[in-house]
Every structure is written in C-alpha cells, then in structure tokens.
Amino acid sequence: MWVSLPELQSLIKVFYPIRAFIGQSDERLYTCFNFFLSSEILLAEKESIDDVWMQEALKEAEKARELDEVPVGAVVVREGKIIGRGFNQPISGCNPVAHAEVMALQEAAAHVENYRLVDCELYVTLEPCTMCAGAIIHSRVKRVVFGALEPKAGALVSQSRTLELPYMNYRVEMTPGVLEEECSEMISSFFRARREAKKAEKKRLKLC
C-alpha cells in the first residue's frame, strides 16, 4: 500500500513510541516492525521524487501546447539530475519522430556522449507509443515512468505490452500513473479547446 510522506510521518509518530515495548516482548516482531517502517519510508520517498520529476515533464508538455502540438513532455533523470528534456514537436519541427520521449533521449545521449543511457530514468506525461517504446529499449534506460494512459495507441499497457515481449533482449522497469490526473487533464483540455475552436469556426462560417 502506498502512503504519502505526510501520512507516513503521522504513522511513525503513532508507532515509534511502542517500538520499545515491542522489542521487549518479541524480538522477531520488533525486527519485522523496523523493516516495515524502513520500507514504507523508501516507498514514500520514491513516490515523492517521481512526482517532482513528472512535474518537470509537465512543464515540457506546456511548451508543446504553446506550439499547438499535442502536449506531451518528457525528462531523463540520472543520479538525481535532469540530463535530457523534450516535448512533442513533430508538426512544428517537420519531424515525424519528434515525440517528447525521443527528443529527451537524444538530448540525454548527447549529454553523456553515449547512446546507452544505463542507470537513467525516463519520465513522460503520456504512455509511450510503439516507436517510443522501441527507443526506450534501445537506449537501455533503467525505468520508464508515465502519467496518463493512451487508450488508442499506448504500447506499454493499453494496446500492447512492448516492454514485456519475449524476444526483447533488455528489460525496462515501468511505473504507470504518476500524477495521472494532471497529465490526463493536460491532454483532455488541449483537445477540448481544439473541438470548441472548430465549433466556433463552423458557426462563424454559417453566419457569413
């Protein structure tokens, strides 16, 4: 079960005072209790860190929206630092492969001067497509973290599980659903505004 850092801190305040009593009564229970606390702290910290990096990916997605591109953003993180950023720009860049993930991976590879991004993590606001899933595998990132599902073309969970195909010679860890609501709203609001603009244009043309 995942808990937020504030919730975990509240739990620790309740349970720590009884640790001494547990230790006196049952050494094995005391050991298990300590293990539970340390595990939950690590999980909460990991969840909090993932949120921070996904917020950075959302900032990149906003850059795509400003260009009237589908707002998807990505960052590559290595040893607690962002070494690659990217946002969706195939139309404005006249580049069919300029998805956020690819752009971020390219910048990260240039930064480390290596096409392999071992020990790096990729954060992206939308579930990657098949092309980007292939790029993720070839780059050898350690883990991919994404926000919103892509029901029509998602290649990690929604339409296929590319990272788990038996013939792939490299396994990538995956964490879905980080800041899912914020990432979903970014996409939904973009297409909602686009539909409203089209309706307004049709109405204007009828009045002409």
What residues are labeled active site?
Answer: 101
CA distances from 107 to 17, 59, 98, 103 (A): 49, 16, 12, 6
Give yes or no for a contact between 105 and 135, defined as CB atoms under 8 angstroms apart: yes
Query: What kind and span of H or E run contains 126?
Result: strand 120-126
Reference 110, options 90, 144, 86, 132; nearest CA is 86
- State the Cα angle at 62 between 152 and 181, rounded to 5°: 55
